[in-house]
Amino acid sequence: MHIRDLPYTDPGEPDVRSGPRFLYWLGRNQLGGQLKALGWGLLHQCGIAGLPLTVGLGVQAAVDRSGDRLALAAGLNVLLGVAIALGEVMLHRTAVSNWITSAARVQQLLARKAAELGSALTRQVAAGEVVAVSTGDVEKIGWFVEALSRFAAAAAALVIICVGLVIYQPALGVVVAIGVPVLALAVLPLLPQATRRADAQREKAGRATELASDTVAGLRVLRGIGGEELFLGRYREASQEVRQAAVRSARMWSLISAVQVLLPGLLLITVVLYGARLALDGRIAVGELVTVYSAVTLMLYPLQHFAEIAMAYSFSRPSAKRAARVLALQRVTNPAGTRAGAPSGPLSGDLYDPSSELRATEGRFTAVVCGDPDAAGRLADRLGGHPAEPDGMESVLLGGVALDGLALAEARAAVLVQDKDPVLLSGTLRDLLDVPSSGRVDAADALAAAQCEDVLDALAQASVDGGGDPMGTRITERGRSLSGGQRQRLALARSLVADPGVLVLDEPTSAVDTHTEARVAGGIKRLRAGRTTVVFTSSPLLLDAAEQVVFVDGGEVASVGTHRDLVRTDVRYRAVVTRETDEAEPKAVSWTLEKVEESA
């Protein structure tokens, strides 16, 4: 797998039953890259392992005063040097490629899952956890895959070296063949404790990060109540706990590293003492002793990979577990909600939510008023086929067909939900409005309906090409260079361009002034004529433009009518819309109607 092959056409279906199974699935899907790394690693490791043999041949040739054998040993040394250099370069290249491609596969899987779940993702798992998985956890998983590439080569090289030493010099080779497995497995009893300490460190670090982000987000409020020092003290305590946990974890890993140095040293001393006795007895030649001694010395290098793979696995296992947990999330569907017997082609008909009894009549502009903004957001998502609370909730129906029973792409083509806080991706305005659409609404009409004239003027002035074309002006990430109202209206224009069969808007004008809001209301009504539009709002201007208003109280429809009728007849509706007490009823009604008429 070359870097230029990314992204994958299809990243595959991961095994998310557990963290180790997910790691195994990743390794199996990169079998080609792992085999390449194994081949280059064997060339590199066996080249290093061959050096003692040539050194031994050279020493023995010098003892025997043989110039031919000395020249042969020198030539073999040169060839081994070339093999070591080539193997090292290609092993590093292949191992890093395995790292990058595995990380890219995981990130593609996460992106696909986020696109599949949409806004329901953050209700099933914290947004911070998704970010942590897609950044730090992906890095640790990639590290394990990369370390595995080199570990496999090191393990194979150790086996080859041990077998070769047994054949070359049985007396010393057997000692080495017995000692090496002991060295490789000596750290295993220490790994569970090291893993637990590393997990505790990551957990405390996560809590400290969460506390810091919450403090920064609420800094203005904290300053208002004089609570900076209190939260600063809490963060100091949390950071100290992280430091102490990191020290405890580092001590255990230092112990593992010390064992990896101590035991090979003992093996080397044993080989030297035993070999010297054999040489004094005349049972082995001096060159053979030098060869075995050098081989044992060089074996310490591949043995280091055993400690690294143990550390990489201990860090990547919890990361893989978190990634598998996110990738295992499923879009909640209603098994009974299938399209069996439904007419082929685009869906049409009334949009109906059985849980709240909310009905948006086909082809009409319906406004929905909820006393609880959070409840309004959940209801808006549910109308798009993304249940916020799946337990006990019946599927939303469009023309009698359950949205939860449709394929994801089909459900989203039928109903588009614009969130209360829509996101603008970086790129030009032309790119922003280049979305899948019916083709009935062009960008100019959508921008006009959303009252984006000032936005276009600002973008034209910011144009760097000198042409003053606002459509070619780049919009910064999340539209940070624009005001809240400008971002909101551009997002509305994007939704209008898409022109879905059913458009659900959650507070689309909360950040604009009243005069602009009145014109936006008229633009939506005009451009969406004959199309089903549902707007969640408490703005009298939008409510007055709607053909029907539905008041939802306590999760159920309480009343239906026009805004002017409901504001006169429904006390609870009037309290939500005007935010006035019962004593101020006449004043509230007259004020609301006056504002509507003035803006109109």
pLDDT digits (tens, 9 = 90+) for 417-460: 998 888 888 888 888 899 888 889 999 999 999 999 988 888 88
**Fold annotation for 351-599:** Rossmann fold (3.40.50)
Do residues 443 and 477 make contact, with C-beta atoms less than 8 angstroms apart?
no
Q: Identify the band that residue 199 occupies on the pLDDT scale cut at 50, 70 and 90.
A: confident
Q: How far apart are CA 546 and CA 301, in angstroms?
A: 75
Integer CA distances (angstroms), 208 to 34, 194, 211, 448, 477, in order: 37, 21, 5, 47, 27
Q: How far apart are CA 538 and CA 535, in angstroms?
A: 10
Residues contacting 321, CB < 8 A, separation 6+:
18, 19, 22
CA 159, 164, 165, 169 dihedral sign is: positive
Share of the chain above pLDDT 90, in %: 21
Integer CA distances (angstroms), 511 to 99, 485, 487, in order: 45, 5, 9
Share of the chain above pLDDT 70, in %: 86
**Predicted local distance difference test score (pLDDT) of residue 518:** 92
**Predicted local distance difference test score (pLDDT) of residue 271:** 83
Where are the CATH 1.20.1560.10 domain residues in the chain?
3-327
Residue type, 498: A
pLDDT at 334 over 60: no
Q: Name the 3-class secondary structure at 64.
A: coil
pLDDT at 343 over 50: no
pLDDT at 363 over 90: yes
Q: Identify the band that residue 544 occupies on the pLDDT scale cut at 50, 70 and 90.
A: very high
Q: How far apart are CA 113 and CA 376, in angstroms?
A: 25
**Predicted local distance difference test score (pLDDT) of residue 420:** 82
**Predicted local distance difference test score (pLDDT) of residue 335:** 46
440 φ/ψ angles, rounded to the nearest 5 degrees: -80, -25
HEC secondary structure over 424-472? CCCEEHHHHCCCCCCCCCCHHHHHHHCCCHHHHHHHHHCCCCCCCCHHH
Do residues 337 and 395 make contact, with C-beta atoms less than 8 angstroms apart?
yes
Where are the CATH 3.40.50.300 domain residues in the chain?
351-599
**Predicted local distance difference test score (pLDDT) of residue 336:** 44
Q: How far apart are CA 384 and CA 412, in angstroms?
A: 7
**Predicted local distance difference test score (pLDDT) of residue 122:** 67
Integer CA distances (angstroms), 131 to 17, 101, 211, in order: 21, 19, 16
Q: Identify the band that residue 183 occupies on the pLDDT scale cut at 50, 70 and 90.
A: confident
Taking residue 583's Cβ as centre, other Cβ atoms within 10 Å add up to 8
Q: Name the 3-class secondary structure at 142.
A: helix
Q: How far apart are CA 278 and CA 173, in angstroms?
A: 13
pLDDT tens-digit series, residues 23-76: 999 888 888 888 998 899 889 888 887 777 787 788 878 888 888 888 888 898
Do residues 551 and 559 make contact, with C-beta atoms less than 8 angstroms apart?
yes
Choose among 336, 504, 327: nearest CA to 412.
504
Q: Which residue in this structure is represented by tokens 């969406």?
A: 528
pLDDT at 589 over 50: no
> Comparing 480 with 275, which gets the higher pLDDT?
275
Q: How far apart are CA 19 and CA 377, in angstroms?
A: 34
CATH code of 3-327, in short, is 1.20.1560.10
Overall average pLDDT of the 346-350 stretch: 82
Q: pTM for the full model? A: 0.60
DSSP H or E run through 417? strand 415-418
Quote the strand ranges of 295-350, DSSP E: none
pLDDT at 352 over 90: yes
pLDDT tens-digit series, residues 366-394: 999 998 888 888 888 888 876 545 445 67
Pairing type for strands 548-553 and 365-370 reads parallel
Q: Identify the band that residue 403 occupies on the pLDDT scale cut at 50, 70 and 90.
A: confident
Give the lowest-confidence range in 121-125, 198-202, 280-284, 497-501.
Answer: 121-125
Choose among 326, 310, 305, 414: nearest CA to 127.
326
Mean pLDDT of the chain: 82
Do residues 60 and 285 make contact, with C-beta atoms less than 8 angstroms apart?
yes
